[in-house]
Amino acid sequence: MGLPRLVCALLLAWCCCDRRAMGVPGEAEQPTPELVEVEVGSTALLRCSLDSPGNLSHVDWFVVHKEKRTPIFRVRQGQGQSEPGEYQHRLSLQGPGSTLALAQVGPHDERVFLCQSRRPRAQEHHIQLRVYKAPEEPVIQITTNGISVNSQEPEEVATCVGKNGYPLPQVVWYKNRQALKEEKNRIHIQSSQTEESSGLYTLESVLKAQLVKEDKDAQFYCELSYRLPSGNHMKESREVTVPVFYPAERLWLEVEPVGMLKEGDRVEIRCLTDGNPAPHFTISKKDLSTGEMEEQETTDNGILVLDPAEKQHSGVYQCHGLDLEDTTSLSSDTQNLLVNYVSDVRVTPIAPESEEGGSLTLTCKAESNQPLTFQWLREKTGQVLEEGPTLELLGLKREAEGGYRCVASVPSIPGLNRTQLVYVAIFGPPWMALKERRVWVREDTVQNLSCEASGHPQPTISWNVNGTVATEQEQNPLRVLSTLSVLVTPELLETGVQCTASNFLGRNTTTIFLTQVGLTTLTPDSSTAAGPSTSTVSPHARANSTSTEKKLREPESKGVVIVAVIVCILVLAVLGAVLYFFYKKGKLPCGRSGKQEITLPPSRKSELVVEVKSDKLPEEMGLLQGSTGDKRAPGDQGEKYIDLRH
């Protein structure tokens, strides 16, 4: 049996030697190809580097794919020509014929290229083409509305997508700048890839994790690592925060604004918790009569709004929270709320009154939970009269009548104060503004006439004419205002209107004279607005002997006089210009007494008449006449004619 085994071994050795000697394809050791790296879309330069270059004018190029050689280009006598196929329009010869340029490189071009020369002997050179493409910026997206810390297995946190990269990039997940690695039952990273029609890859990676309460502010992001001909690179996504749900451990109350509160403030009482999501809140206040906590009406987000805050809002408050997921209930510590106040400001006597020359003592009191200061002001002027709760008024005169205000304030809390107004009355007959007044009106229009008076006791006002509408209103306990609407008639223009104020101590009267407004009359009181005009007789300017206040100014006729003078000057200027014109023409003799005839052509002697016409109203012309001492007949309308015919 030994001989046959020996024969078989010899035959096998001979066959192996014979196959190696014959150079059977695939059996010889393949040389290491040259590596060429390019980016997608660029041009790859494939250099045919042979051991013995010899004559490169006769070279054949092949692409090797799945151990199959496919001719793609040939060089003959230094001239190149592409073979039909996918590379036909992208290959060109560079230089003396040793370099082949492949344009618009794509992922499908990542193959082995081979150049072959048979002169002077058969030689081959292999080139491995590597193609790269940087992926787009990674896009991260939260894929959950929130993760509960009570979850028993990893839940999906976020998804990272990197599009159009080649070759496939690598993804790394980070939390707070720390790389995450697979951890059983804690962290799981699942990645998938999609090859596009262009040959580029889209990578999608999903991070799943179990989170804890401390992860509520954690920053997650993903990183794509890839290679280019220039080296290794990476791109990072934006950072995201994932909602983490965890039960509340405690509740507390918060009050805004912070600091001392006062009546009138807008106060918000809100419940806060360390849980997420927040439980359902209710706020209760302790009832002082029963000692029980009573629920208060709050907004949807558990906020109690006190607007405006009042002293009865002071008290003890507490917050309650109910977790709807596990039905657990929590309560906060009680908190005391204090609303500082000033109330019930009162002045005695309530209605102070005195005879003229007498004295009064006003006393102010108020209630507050803080120390108070008092101040007295004159209502009409705002002048500070006294600091303190008591105001002494000595030697009273009619001018002292009116309002006095007591201000009670808390110095330690700016803006916390209350006031009380009281009117001091001085016995006496009514006061009127003026004995008489002139009002500019238009005939056959409705005019509102107002009359104001003051006194103690409060006077009543009456009119000596009947109006269509009469209103009377109290300005304060000492003053009354009456308004009468009348139709302006010729009778009223002649007689005027009287208003009379009276009380049991006396009476006083004001006469209102109505003056018709002319077309050219300019007065401060004239009104061109539609509807009835109004004239008010105010008591601020006293006509009484005891008053020290200024009288109201009566409208003056200065405007009428000025306008009349200006118009007369213009008329005289025109007349003078005409006379001067004829004088210069030599047609107006001067220096003779008696009438002189102006020389004119016979046909025109009877035609020349110079008319000087004034548009002044009769009363205005009267003013001018009064200044020269001349008077005009009643029928004269203010026109002057100079007859130049005789």
User: What residues contact 178, with CB distance under 8 A and at least 6 apart?
Assistant: none
pLDDT score of 101: 94
Q: Where is pLDDT greater, at 181 or 610?
A: 181
State the pLDDT confidence band at 300, using cuts at 50, 70 and 90: confident
- Buried-exposed string 520-559: b where 16+ CB fall within 10 A, e elsewhere: ebebeeebeeeebbebebbbeebbbeebeeeebeebebee
Average confidence (pLDDT) over 147-172? 93
pLDDT score of 601: 43
State the pLDDT confidence band at 54, using cuts at 50, 70 and 90: low
Homologous superfamily of 139-245 in CATH? Immunoglobulins (2.60.40.10)
- Mean pLDDT of the residues in the chain: 80
* Strands ordered across the beta sheet of 342-348: 342-348, 360-368, 390-393
- What are the structural domain ranges in the chain? 34-132, 139-245, 251-337, 346-427, 431-516
pLDDT-wise least confident of 114-118, 320-324, 413-417, 461-465: 320-324
Topology of the domain comprising 431-516: Immunoglobulin-like (2.60.40)
Q: Which helix (H) or strand (E) holds 72?
A: strand 68-76
Tell me: pLDDT of 612 over 70: no
User: What residues contact 523, with CB distance under 8 A and at least 6 apart?
Assistant: 440, 517, 555, 559
pLDDT score of 267: 95
Cα–Cα distance measured from residue 643 to residue 623, given in angstroms and rounded to the nearest whole number? 26
- Condensed to tens digits (0 to 9), the pLDDT of residues 307-319 reads 899 999 999 999 9
Tell me: pLDDT of 55 over 70: no
Average confidence (pLDDT) over 588-611? 42
Tell me: pLDDT of 180 over 60: yes
Q: Where is pLDDT greater, at 195 or 642?
A: 195
State the pLDDT confidence band at 606, using cuts at 50, 70 and 90: very low
Cα–Cα distance measured from residue 267 to residue 286, given in angstroms and rounded to the nearest whole number? 18
pLDDT score of 598: 39
Q: What class, spelled out in words, does domain 346-427 have in CATH?
A: mainly beta
pLDDT score of 30: 62
pLDDT-wise least confident of 71-85, 176-190, 472-486, 554-568: 554-568
Tell me: pLDDT of 224 over 80: yes
pLDDT score of 211: 92
- Condensed to tens digits (0 to 9), the pLDDT of residues 243-291 reads 999 888 889 999 999 999 999 999 999 999 988 888 889 999 999 889 8
Q: What percent of the chain has pLDDT over 90?
A: 47
Topology of the domain comprising 251-337: Immunoglobulin-like (2.60.40)
pLDDT-wise least confident of 274-283, 393-402, 532-541: 532-541
pLDDT score of 589: 57
With contact defined as beta carbons under 8 Å apart, do 432 and 509 qualify?
A: yes
User: What residues contact 269, with CB distance under 8 A and at least 6 apart?
Assistant: 253, 254, 255, 283, 303, 304, 306, 317, 337
Q: What is the CATH number of domain 34-132?
A: 2.60.40.10
State the pLDDT confidence band at 119, using cuts at 50, 70 and 90: confident
Pairing between strand 201-209 and 497-503? unpaired
pLDDT score of 339: 95
Average confidence (pLDDT) over 625-635? 38
Tell me: pLDDT of 594 over 60: no
State the pLDDT confidence band at 468, using cuts at 50, 70 and 90: low
Own/partner contacts of 363-366, CB < 8 Å, gap of 24 or more, are 363/389, 363/390, 363/391, 364/389, 364/390, 364/391, 364/406, 364/408, 364/420, 365/389, 366/342, 366/408, 366/418
For 179-219, give the secondary structure using H, E and C. ECCCECCCEEEEEEEEECCCCCEEEEEEEEECCCHHHHHCC
Q: Where is pLDDT greater, at 3 or 435?
A: 435
Q: Which of 67-71, 551-555, 602-606 has the highest mean pLDDT?
A: 67-71
Tell me: pLDDT of 215 over 80: yes
State the pLDDT confidence band at 198, using cuts at 50, 70 and 90: very high
Tell me: pLDDT of 460 over 80: yes
State the pLDDT confidence band at 362, using cuts at 50, 70 and 90: very high
With contact defined as beta carbons under 8 Å apart, do 174 and 180 qualify?
A: yes
Counting every residue written for the chain, the total comes to 646
Cα–Cα distance measured from residue 388 to residue 186, given in angstroms and rounded to the nearest whole number? 75
How open is the CA angle 58-118-21, to the nearest 5 degrees? Answer: 165
Q: Considering the entire predicted model, what is its pTM?
A: 0.54
- Condensed to tens digits (0 to 9), the pLDDT of residues 4-41 reads 454 444 444 444 434 433 444 444 456 788 999 999 99
pLDDT score of 597: 41
What sign does the dihedral 427-430-435-440 (CA atoms) show?
positive
Query: 431-516: same fold as 346-427?
Result: yes
Tell me: pLDDT of 639 over 50: no
Q: What percent of the chain has pLDDT over 70?
A: 76
Average confidence (pLDDT) over 569-587? 83
Average confidence (pLDDT) over 399-417? 93
Tell me: pLDDT of 537 over 60: no
State the pLDDT confidence band at 432, using cuts at 50, 70 and 90: confident
Which amino acid, 582? F
Residue 383 is given by DSSP the state -
Tell me: pLDDT of 443 over 70: yes
